[in-house]
Amino acid sequence: MTAPNFPSRNSFGTAGVLEVGGVDHRIHRIAGLAPDGLPVTLKIVLENLLRHEDGRVVTAEQIEALLRWGAPDVHDTAVDLHPARIFLHDTNGVPALADLAAMRHAMAALGGDPRRVNPVIPAELVIDHSVIADVFGRPDALDRNVEIEYRRNAERYRFLKWGKETLRNFAVVPPGTGIMHQVNLEYLARVVMTGGGWAYPDLCLGTDSHTTMVDGLGVLGWGIGGIEAEAAMLGQSLSMLVPRVVGVRLHGELREGATATDLVLTITELMRAHGVVGKFVEFTGPGVGAIGLADRATIANMSPEFGSTCAYFPIDAETIRYLRFSGRDPEHVRLVEAYAKEQGLWHDPSHEPRYSETVELDLGTVVPSLAGPRRPQDRVRLDAAKTGFRQALAEMGVASQEPAADRLGHGSVVIAAITSCTNTSNPAVMVAAGLLARNAVRAGLSSKPWVKTSLSPGSRVVTGYFDRAGLTPYLEKLGFHLTGYGCMTCIGASGPLIPEVSREVTEHDLSVVAVLSGNRNFDGRINPEVRMNYLASPPLVVAYALTGTMDTDLLTEPLGAGAGGEPVFLRDIWPSAAEIREVIDESLRPEMFTEVYRDVFTGDRRWQELDAPAGETFAWDEDSTYLRRPPYLDGMRPEPGPVTGIEGARVLVKLGDSVTTDHVSPAGAIPPHTPAGQYLTGLGVPRFDLNTYASRRGNHEVMMRGCFANVRLRNQLVPGTEGGYALAPDGTVTSVYEAALAHRDAGTPLIVLAGRDYGSGSSRDWAAKGPALLGVRAVLAESFERIHRSNLIGMGVLPLQFLPGQSAESLGLTGHERFTVRGLAGYPRTATVEADGVTFEVVVRLDTERERDYHRHGGILPYVLRSLLTEDGPL
């Protein structure tokens, strides 16, 4: 790794030395400079500005603005952050690396040195998003799924090895290690970084929105787009407005029977109702000390589901305990504690910071809960789950709960998955699932035969303590065999349903259910045949596998009949908190972490035998169906053109509220009948190997065809349809892809009309890249989710926002108009839109000067490449 070289002017006289264990570390002291009551998250931002002050990108004026935090005008001020490291996974990492490879190609074509396109800060990638639960419910499921994973993805993995061996500061954790966020929590996170004689906060920005999980460890981190990550890797700052900080004051203790999952679903509902989009969330109060590190990580992981930028827990004794327990170097742990206390980053429950807003939560009010059937914030109390399910069915127009087939009916649970970093990082809920499985087997219960059961934990540590506690055989008895260490069902890599179940679901048009211990349950995400998805704690996942239906009250109705025919209730087999703690204390050991992560970058035999291509520039294969050279920089000129308006644009899709990045760019399986599926099968790819959209993100031809292709998308221009349909210029109904090509051939620019919270969900680059390549020039919405708005700008797509109180409906816009946007020169705060006689003002959501620069250059990649061509950066 390259040692950091910080350019600080030290205008505020904060540079100094911290001695820990006989070693001197250079630091910027913030404790004496930060105003009293400044939130801990903003102290980390302050330190970052002080260390990077160069008078050009980071100025004294930015630092002074932060020191005035709380003043009304401060939140209109932009500051430039420099992350300590960038964190990626394979499905976002492959297209990010492809962009870097394309930049090297373009740099060479423009007469520059391609080696200038090289990370200058650590970039760490974990391969965890490509394994699919194809095989399940059998002892060899893990080996079979990994074998299939390598066969499908060997080309992508060789490409990642090329990046690892060609680029500096680029490390890769091979497949089969675990989910990126759990690997980050258990091993990669430093909390305090060191290098070049410096000690400084581990500010971690990742290409996955759940990078926030590490906030539970006292690391300030959040998700950004891959194109932003590429810019940061190449030394560019992240420009953002000084955020508002919402304090969540916790007090009380969780009651018996309530889990961390129940707590996080309660917080998600609370935060969405309060409104935290674009804000920092910081936890405070006496209840913080009552929450263990694993529970903190579970809460922080769900920050994207709140809509907040981060969900931060300050460093305290629990942080230090976890670092020691998970096998971190003792000298480094001492540095973390000393640095946090020296810098005022140590949690002091007796001295709470000043916040923009404060929300109270009594932990004792948390009750067993689910969330669903479509959004993580739609919490349902477990005692009301049956009623809520029936209400959801009625809203879908399904009136009957009677079985519609021989054994299946509406609400049948066809997927029960213990999956996702959110909960598999938490020993308490995982052990609870194992104990529930043990008790169920002993009582004579079994999973229903139509349920596809799977166990895909985020770390090998999990199966280590399952084995040590003797719980693995009981989970397997119920069908929860290990299917892989990766982000599987939660990302949509659930694999196909049981074949006969799939046939009955299709033949009878059944509204069936997936129950998963994940963080996302958006329409069409988990499996294209499953209409209703519920988030639940791991033990409740097991319980629903036993009942096989959502149309039951787990608190009053039996799970099934025991060995003697007697009814067995959930309360009969639910483990106590004391028993869960006893098992954890007996089975979880520090040496498990050190053993699992001893050779974390080495990989298994399959990884080691993969041959990586050589060369400073990547040799693209035009016949590849996984990797194609991205076209974003084709024909790029040394200087950007003038900023112009948008003339005569047509609406490609008109959408409602809460449209997610999954709707815009799905991650799950590629159905054969879709434009993407037809493209691939036309190239000779077998149907079984179509793989997922997530795995094909290195091929823009696939991803363009997958844009707006979610099976649950509802384009209001094509009423009565569901899926990726749009209107061609002649008014005929066709696929979104074909319609966009026809408009492009006619020279017609395109826009998207949307409602509130446009782009919620994952930090998915292709939700911006896809529309950009289809010819979308602007998105006009009532409001945007933070990451997606940034991604649109990063691809040169203009985010426009209706004025408060206005919408497409209030203005009488049908979406069939021609739209002209005027007054963009100079990027004023508002611009004028004309739509067939309707004229109205919109907000131009380019919030900082850097965002205006990105849009003027046509996106982040051309901006950075032009910068590298004109600057003397490090090779």
The pLDDT tens digits of the residues spanning 482-528 come to 999 998 988 888 999 999 999 999 999 999 999 999 888 888 889 98
23-28 vs 646-654, strand pairing mode: unpaired
- Fold for domain 646-666+706-857? Aconitase; domain 4 (3.20.19)
SS3 of residue 132 by DSSP: coil
DSSP 34: S
**577-587 and 427-442 helices cross at what angle (nearest 10)?**
110
For residue 36, what are the contacts with CB-CB under 8 A and spacing of at least 6? none
Residue indicated by tokens 């998700």: 223
- pLDDT category, 1, cuts 50, 70, 90? low
Query: May I ask the CATH architecture of the domain 384-596?
Result: 2-Layer Sandwich (3.30)
pLDDT of residue 688: 86
The residue-averaged pLDDT of 316-345 equals 97
Q: Do 130 and 153 form a contact (C-beta atoms < 8 A)?
A: yes
- Those residues whose C-beta lies under 8 Å from the C-beta of residue 473, and which sit 6 or more positions away, are none
Residue 470 phi/psi, 5-degree rounding, is 75, 25
Q: What angle do CA 736, 738, 741 make, to 5 degrees?
A: 105
- Residue 709 sits at φ, ψ, to 5 deg, of -105, 10
d(Cα 835, Cα 808) in Å, to the nearest integer? 11
Q: From the options 2.40.30.110, 3.40.50.10540, 3.40.1400.10, 3.40.1060.10, give the CATH code of 1-81+242-367.
A: 3.40.1060.10
Report the distance separating Cα 755 and Cα 181, nearest Å.
Answer: 31
Q: How far is CA 395 from the centre of its chain?
A: 29
Judge whether 62 and 238 are in contact, CB under 8 Å. Answer: no
Neighbouring-strand partners of residue 311 = 281
**Are the beta carbons of 523 and 457 closer than 8 angstroms?**
no
First and final C-alpha spacing in the chain: 13
CB 847 within 8 A of CB 241: yes
What are the Cα distances from residue 497, in Å, to 164, 457, 481, 548? 36, 20, 16, 14
Cβ(128)–Cβ(694) under 8 Å? no
To 5 degrees, how large is the angle CA 82–CA 88–CA 91?
145
Tens of pLDDT, residues 334-369: 999 999 999 999 999 889 999 999 999 999 999 999
**pLDDT digit string (tens) for 379-408?**
999 999 999 999 999 998 887 656 555 589
Place of tokens 């087999």: 573
At residue 874, the pLDDT reads 39
DSSP state of 626: S
Considering only CA atoms, which of 507, 502, 554 is closest in space to residue 530?
502
Check if the beta carbon of residue 145 is closer than 8 Å to that of residue 134.
yes
Determine the Cα–Cα distance for residues 295 and 291; give it in Å rounded to an integer.
Answer: 6
Four-point Cα dihedral 308, 310, 313, 315, nearest 10: -160
**Distance of alpha carbon 290 from the chain centroid:** 27
Q: Residue 873: its pLDDT value, please?
A: 44
Is a pLDDT exceeding 80 seen at residue 826? yes
Phi, then psi, of 531 in degrees rounded to 5:
-90, -20
Band the pLDDT of 561: cuts 50, 70, 90.
Answer: very high
DSSP label at 153?
A: H
Average pLDDT over residues 242-251: 96
Q: Could you please report the per-residue DSSP string of 259-273? A: -HHHHHHHHHHHHHH
Rounded mean pLDDT of 47-63? 96
Q: Please provide the average confidence, as pLDDT, over all residues in the chain.
A: 93
> Distance between CA 797 and CA 858 in Å, rounded?
8
pTM of the model: 0.88
Q: Where are the domains of the chain?
A: 1-81+242-367, 384-596, 646-666+706-857
Transcribe 301-367 into DSSP letters: HTHHHHT-SEEE--B-HHHHHHHHHTT--HHHHHHHHHHHHHTT-B--TTSPPP-SEEEEEEGGG--
Question: 434 pLDDT exceeds 90?
Answer: yes
- How many Cβ atoms sit within 10 Å of the Cβ of residue 220? 29
Burial of 712 by CB count in 10 Å (0-12 exposed, 13-18 middle, 19+ buried)? middle
CB contact set of 291 (below 8 Å; sequence gap of 6+): 250, 299, 313, 318, 363
What is the average per-residue pLDDT within 585-601?
A: 94
Q: What is the mean pLDDT of residues 150-170?
A: 93
Residue 8 pLDDT: 81
CA atoms within 13 A of residue 835's CA, in its CB half-sphere? 20
Q: For the stretch 730-758, what's the b/e string if a residue is b when 16 or more beta carbons lie within 10 angstroms of its beta carbon?
A: eeeebbbbbbbbbbeeeebbbbbbbbbbb
HSE, CB side, 13 Å, CA atoms: give it for residue 74. Answer: 17
The CA-based angle 292-326-437, given to 5 degrees, is 65
Mean of the pLDDT values across residues 247-255?
A: 95
Element housing 507 (H / E): helix 499-507
**Quick check: 298 pLDDT over 70?**
yes
Determine the Cα–Cα distance for residues 828 and 842; give it in Å rounded to an integer. Answer: 10
**Rounded (to 5) percent helix, strand, coil in the chain:** 40, 20, 45
